Structures are given as structure tokens and as C-alpha cells.
Amino acid sequence: MKVLVATQKPFAPAAVASIRQVIEDAGYEMILLEKYASAEDLTKAAADADAIIIRSDVVDAKVLEAAKNLKIVVRAGAGYDNVDLATAKEHGVVVQNTPGQNSNAVAELVFGMTVIAIRNMYDGTSGTELRGKTLGIQAFGQVGRNVARIAKGFDMVVSALDPFCPDEVIAEAGVNPVKTVNDLYLNNQFVSIHIPATPETKGSIGYDLIRLMPAGGVLINTARKEVIDEAGLMRALEERTDLKYVADVKPDNADELKAKFGHRVFFTPKKMGAQTAEANINAGIAAARQIVAYLRDGENRYQVNR
Ligand code: 3PG
């Protein structure tokens, strides 16, 4: 069995070594494709793979057509908007993710970027603090829960909106459940976005929501750039000169936003939320183990394309 590890943005070397160990201990062969230049490289490498581990790498119909032996794709991470789930299903290919394995890393980056923003990019001017401030978490999944935990350490007042999570679960974490998205934006100076990119959520956060934020509002996006309506964001930042936007992975209109708003916006040049040795090791090993468990025993708990 051949397991292709295809990571345009490579895992830490220690993670690669651990993944190799799991795969080789199972008697399988690992093929490593890192920092590849084009989608074609992935398509070619996938041709004789039985299993593929990816990160944000795009597994589209072309890759799936080419990969005649493919049985399983594991996204080492949470979001799977980069995989053509329906075509995978048509080809009988199982798609899984590794929920929770990189969420602490993403949550820590939320605060890394937030502190940079409220300290004015460390430009020597007086900034502000997080203590006692309101934080609204949009979606209380694995990352949202870690964000809440860390926010408590900053002594923030934490609320969360998640229509798929019972209020009791949110309340048990010491977080105030919020009923509507308008309330989340209206009542929280800081809002951290953790919704997945789906047809329903794409472009769903725009002018109408962002303009509701209280004075000195900071919108933090470590989810996907696609959930933001970029024209609406631009308009809100133009009208509300007190607002800031920080994001892990830059929006399409990043240059324009930077030129117009300078230190009021911050973007990582590459998606960096999950880019820690710990998250790479956790997600990478989980992915390798899930492949072995599926190929050997049909264990399929984390399938996302049923
Ligand atoms: C995820 O969905 O798990 C995160 O966005 C991390 O993506 P990455 O593995 O490409 O860094």
C-alpha cells in the first residue's frame, strides 16, 4: 500500500518522521511530496496512491480521476472545503478529517494576532488590554472552545453563538450562549470567527454585521477568507475608523485594505494557525493512524463524505 503525504505547506520534520513511523510500522510505503509547484504535481503523485494525507492541498475531480487505486484521503486538520467530497464519494473514496488535533494552535494564534492589533503593531503608541473586555466566539467547535479557555486567562467576558451546540454545553464552559448573530456582533468588542466555509457561510460576514460592533471593535478571522464579504468589510472599515480586522491568510483585497487602513489590518502571509510542531505532529500522526485503521479494520469514525 502506498500512502502519499502531499503537503504544499510542509509539516515540521518531527511530524514527518512520526507519520513515516506509523505508516512503515503498518508495512506500508510512504511517499512524500512537499512544497510542490503546481496542482499537476499532486495529480501525478496521486496516480498510484492507495491513501493520501493532505492539509489545505486541493483534492479535486482531476486528482480523484487520476488516482485509480485511491481508497482514502485524510485531511490532517479540521476544514475539508479543499476536497471535492461528492466526486470522492462517486469514486468510492472515503474522506476523513482529524478534528481537534490542531485547534489549540489556531486558538493561540487568535490571541497572538489580537494582542498585536490592540498594541498598534508595537509601533510605540499606547494600546489597550484584553482584561475585562467582551469576546464573542462565532461557532463553539474545537477551536472555539480553546479560544474560550484561553480568553478566560485574559479575564475576558466570553460569549458564543453556535446553533448546532446546546446552550448547556456552552454554559458549562463558563461562556454565555448567544441566540443571534446580530447579538454576537452588537455586544462584543472582539469577535473571533470559527465557522467552516460552506455554501451557506461563504460571504456571510459583511457590512451589516461588522458595522454593529461596539467602539474599538476587532474582528479576528482564523477560519477561512471566503466567509467574509470583502467589499462589505472594506465599507465597514471605511465608515468605522475605530474598527480593526486581523486574519490568518490574507483576503483577496489585502493590498487595498493595507493601503487604506495600515495598522488597522493584519494578515499572515501564509495560513499559519495550525503551523506549529505540536499541531503538525498531532494532526499528522492522527491522519496516519486513521489511514491504517481504515485500511486494516474499516474503522471510519471521522468520515466527512457519507
Ligand atoms: C484546518 O482547517 O485544519 C486549518 O485551517 C489548518 O490548515 P493547514 O493544515 O493548511 O495549516
Which of 8, 9, 102, 106 for a ligand 1 pocket mutation test, highest count of atoms within 8 Å of Cβ? Answer: 102
DSSP codes, the chain: -EEEEEESSPPPHHHHHHHHHHHHHTT-EEEEEES-SSHHHHHHHHTT-SEEEESS--B-HHHHHH-TT--EEEESSS--TTB-HHHHHHTT-EEEE-TTTTHHHHHHHHHHHHHHHHTGGGSSS-----TT-EEEEE--SHHHHHHHHHHHHTT-EEEEE-TTS-HHHHHHTT-EE-S-HHHHHHH-SEEEE-----TTTTT-BSHHHHTTSPTT-EEEE-S-GGGB-HHHHHHHHHH-TT-EEEESS--TTHHHHHHHHGGGEEE-SS--TT-SHHHHHHHHHHHHHHHHHHHHH---TTBS--
273 touches ligand 1 (CB under 6 Å): yes
pLDDT at 21: 98
Distance CA 222, CA 110 (A): 7
Instruction: Determine the distance separating the centroid of ligand 1 and the alpha carbon of 169, expressed in angstroms.
Output: 25
For residue 241, how far is its CA from the centre of ligand 1 (angstroms)? 31
Cβ contact 236:207 at 8 Å: yes
Evaluate: CB of 7 within 6 angstroms of ligand 1: no
Per-residue confidence (pLDDT) for residue 249, from 0 to 100? 86
Distance (angstroms) between ligand 1 centre and the Cα of 263 equals 26
- Distance from C-alpha of 128 to C-alpha of 73, rounded to nearest angstrom: 45
| Residue ranges in the chain modelled with pLDDT below 50 | none
- Ligand 1 centroid – CA 102 distance (Å): 8
Q: What is the pLDDT of residues 156-205, one digit of tens each?
A: 999 999 999 999 999 999 999 999 999 999 999 999 999 999 999 999 99
pLDDT at 32: 98
